[in-house]
Amino acid sequence: MSTAGLSTPFKAEFDVNSQEFSLSGVIRPRSIEEIAVNILMLKEAIDQVRGVLYINVRRLVQMNNTAFQAFARVVLDTCQTRPDIRFVIVTSSVVGWTTRMFEHLNRIEPQITIEVYDSTFYPGQSFVEDTSFIPILRTQTKMTWRHERTILPRHGMRSGITMADICCGIGDFAVLVQKEFQPARIVALDHSKASLAYAREVATGFGIADIEYTYGDASEMLLEDDQFDFVSCRHSLQIFNQPEVLLAELYRICRPGGRVYVTNEKNSHCLGEPRSQSIQWTYNEVAKLFSHFEMDVELGPKSRRYLTDAGFDDIIVESFMVTNLDGDPRDFAEVITAWENVYAGEMAVKRGDSPEFIQRFRQGFQDHIFAALHPKGYAGWPIWVASGRKPL
Ligand SMILES: C[S@@+](CC[C@H](N)C(=O)[O-])C[C@H]1O[C@@H](n2cnc3c(N)ncnc32)[C@H](O)[C@@H]1O
C-alpha cells in the first residue's frame, strides 16, 4: 500500500449512542503516561455501556507495543470482573496488521471477538471484486475513453494537477489520463485485490511507474483531507450501497476549489434496433437485478441531486451515448458479452432465477449484440457525467 498522504494524527473517541470506542491515526507513546487520558476514556466508556462495547480500529494506521499492551490490559481485566460485557473489535483488511494483532486477544478471552469490517461490507462486493468482473472493466473503459477524453477538460482536468481516481478498478482510466493529460500526481484506490493486481501489471506493461495504486476502502479512506485538485469516481457510486458515504469521502479529500467527477449509468436506457423490445426488457431486468443486491445502476440522472446534497457548487452534468458506431462495433459487442457473462451467468444465478428467466434475460443481451453488429443496426449505452466544485 502506498503510504503517501495518509492521515496520521491520533484520535480516541467514544460514542455512547453506538457504544463505540474508536482509535484512529498513529499512536506510538514512549510510556503509558502519555496515553493515560485515552486509557481513562476507555475505562469510562466501559462503565457506561451495557452488553457490547465496539472498539473500532478501522482507521488505526500504526500502534506500538506500549499502546497495545495498555489498551489490551484494560479490556482483559474487564473480562475478569464483568462477565456481562462483550467486546467486539472491528478491524479492516486495509490496515491488515490490526486483525492479526487483536485476534490474539480472542484466543485469550472468548468475551472478545474480532470482526473484519470489510470482508463482506457491501452486498455487491462478491461480484465486483471477483476476477470475472475484470473483462467488464477492461472493455467498458476502452469504449468510454473516446468520449471522456474530450469531456474531462470541461470538468477541471488539466496537466500538472494532483488527482485521485477512487474505485479505480483495473486502473486503465488512470493510465489513459496519465498519458493524455500528464497530471503531476495520480493516486488510484480500490478495494478489489484482483483488480489492483491487474492494474499494476497493466501499468508495468505500459512502462508507467508513477501511478500510486492503493488498496483501500473508499467509504473510509486513510488519505488526508483537502489534498487533490481533481477526484474521479467512475461507475462506482452506483455499485456501493451507500453512495452518499462515498461522496462525503470524495469531498473530504478534494481541496477547496477542486472538483469531484463522477460517472454513472441508467441501465434501463440501454437501447438497440432491431429487436428493441427484447433489449429493453433485459435492461429493465438488469436494473432490478442490481437493485436486488442494493446497487443502483439507474443512478446517472440522480448525480446532480447527490452532488448538491453533498455540498458541492458549480455542478455540471452532461450525458453521452456509447454506440456501436464508435469505432469497431465488435468492441461494443465485447462489452455486452462481458455483461451477459456476469449478470446472467453469476448474478441471476445467485439470486435464484429460473432457467427460463435466465434464457430470456440472456436473449436481450444477444439481441443487443445482434443490433450492434447488424449492418443497419444501432446499439447504445448511455452514461451520465457530473462534477461539482468543493466550495472555497
Ligand atoms: C463498476 S467498477 C468501476 C471501476 C472503474 N472506476 C471503472 O470505471 O472501470 C466499481 C469499482 O468500485 C470498487 N469499489 C466499490 N466499493 C468500494 C469501496 N468501498 N472501496 C473501494 N473500492 C470500492 C470495486 O472494487 C470496483 O473496482
The candidate with the shortest Cα–Cα distance to 162, out of 186, 196, 139, 131, is: 186
Per-residue pLDDT of 41-98, as tens digits, reads 999 999 999 999 999 999 999 999 999 999 999 999 999 999 999 999 999 999 989 9
pLDDT band at 231 (very low <50, low <70, confident <90, very high): very high
Dump the DSSP string for 318-386.
EEEEEETTSS-HHHHHHHHHHHHHHIIIIIHHHHT--HHHHHHHHHHHHHHHHHHHSTT-EEEEEEEEE
Q: Whose CA is nearest to atom 27 of ligand 1?
A: 169
Q: Which residue has the higher pLDDT, 68 or 208?
A: 68
CA of 239 from ligand 1 middle (Å) equals 7
The candidate with the shortest Cα–Cα distance to 337, out of 127, 128, 132, 104, is: 132
CA of 233 from ligand 1 middle (Å) equals 8
Dump the DSSP string for 82-125.
-TT-EEEEEE-GGGTHHHHHHHHHHHH-TTEEEEEGGGS-STTH
* C-alpha cell belonging to residue 354: 429460473
Q: Whose CA is nearest to atom 12 of ligand 1?
A: 167
CB distance 137 to ligand 1 below 6 Å? yes
CB distance 353 to ligand 1 below 6 Å? no
Euclidean distance between the first and final Cα of the chain, in Å?
Answer: 31
CB distance 93 to ligand 1 below 6 Å? no
- Least confident among 94-103, 175-184, 251-260, 347-356: 94-103
pLDDT band at 4 (very low <50, low <70, confident <90, very high): very low
Instruction: From the CA of 144, give the closest atom in ligand 1.
Output: 8
CA 364/CA 345 separation, integer angstroms:
14
CB distance 336 to ligand 1 below 6 Å? no
CA of 79 from ligand 1 middle (Å) equals 40
pLDDT band at 1 (very low <50, low <70, confident <90, very high): very low
pLDDT of residue 354: 98
Instruction: From the CA of 240, give the closest atom in ligand 1.
Output: 16
Share of residues in the chain with pLDDT > 70 (%): 98
8 A C-beta contact, residue 388 and residue 253: no
CB distance 239 to ligand 1 below 6 Å? yes
CA of 137 from ligand 1 middle (Å) equals 10
**Domains along the chain?**
11-119 (3.20.20.80), 125-389 (3.40.50.150)
CB distance 218 to ligand 1 below 6 Å? yes
The candidate with the shortest Cα–Cα distance to 389, out of 300, 307, 299, is: 307
**pLDDT tops 50 at residue 104:** yes
Backbone angles phi, psi at 147, to 5 degrees: -85, -50
pLDDT of residue 8: 67
**pLDDT tops 90 at residue 236:** yes
CA of 73 from ligand 1 middle (Å) equals 39
Look up cell 485521485; give the residue.
164
**pLDDT tops 80 at residue 3:** no
CA of 236 from ligand 1 middle (Å) equals 5
pLDDT of residue 205: 83
CA of 348 from ligand 1 middle (Å) equals 20
Tell me the mean pLDDT in the region 354-376.
98
pLDDT band at 121 (very low <50, low <70, confident <90, very high): confident
Helix and strand numbers (H, E) in the chain are 13, 13
pLDDT band at 223 (very low <50, low <70, confident <90, very high): very high
Q: Which secondary-structure segment (H or E) carries 64?
A: none
CA of 165 from ligand 1 middle (Å) equals 10
CB distance 190 to ligand 1 below 6 Å? yes
Instruction: From the CA of 236, give the closest atom in ligand 1.
Output: 10
Other beta carbons within 10 Å of 308: 12
CB distance 324 to ligand 1 below 6 Å? no
| Among 239, 290, 295, residue to substitute to test ligand 1 (most atoms within 8 Å of Cβ) | 239
Length of the chain: 392
pTM exceeding the 0.75 threshold for the entire prediction: yes
Look up cell 449492418; give the residue.
375
CA triple 364-369-374, angle to 5 deg: 120
CA of 214 from ligand 1 middle (Å) equals 12
Q: Whose CA is nearest to atom 15 of ligand 1?
A: 240
The burial class, CB within 10 Å (0-12 / 13-18 / 19+), for 369 is buried
**pLDDT tops 90 at residue 119:** no
pLDDT of residue 355: 98
